[in-house]
Amino acid sequence: IVTRAQKQRIGATVQVMIDGPSPEHDLVLQGRFQGQAPEIDPLVVLTDCDPAAYSGGDLIQAKVVGAREYDLVATPI
């Protein structure tokens, strides 16, 4: 059910608050959109971006380009 709901968001534009670098990869950021709580809800993983251009707490617009089991994959626009 969660995966299906996440896949329905593909193509949507969302406002994402940057949390910081992803522990999975240095060139990837992670954040969350409105309604997602830290450490409880799925994350938004931001790819195709320069992590040095963003700081924790920044609000950006991003397009959802994919979905993992729980997390969304997005690119800044």
pLDDT at 10 over 90: yes
Tell me which residue of 51, 46, 32, 52 sits closest to 76, measured CA to CA: 46
Question: Residues 6 or more apart from 32 whose CB is under 8 A from it?
Answer: 16, 17, 19, 38, 41, 43, 44
The whole model's pTM is what? 0.84
Q: 57 is in which domain, residue-wise?
A: 2-76
Give the separation between CA 53 and CA 47, rounded to whole angstroms. Answer: 13
- Per-residue pLDDT of 47-70, as tens digits, reads 999 999 999 999 999 999 998 888
pLDDT at 73 over 80: yes
Give the separation between CA 30 and CA 47, rounded to whole angstroms. Answer: 9
CATH number at residue 50: 2.40.50.140
Q: Which residue has the higher pLDDT, 39 or 50?
A: 50
Q: Structural domain tally of the chain? A: 1
Dihedral (CA of 15, 27, 30, 73) sign: positive
Mean pLDDT confidence for 2-20: 86
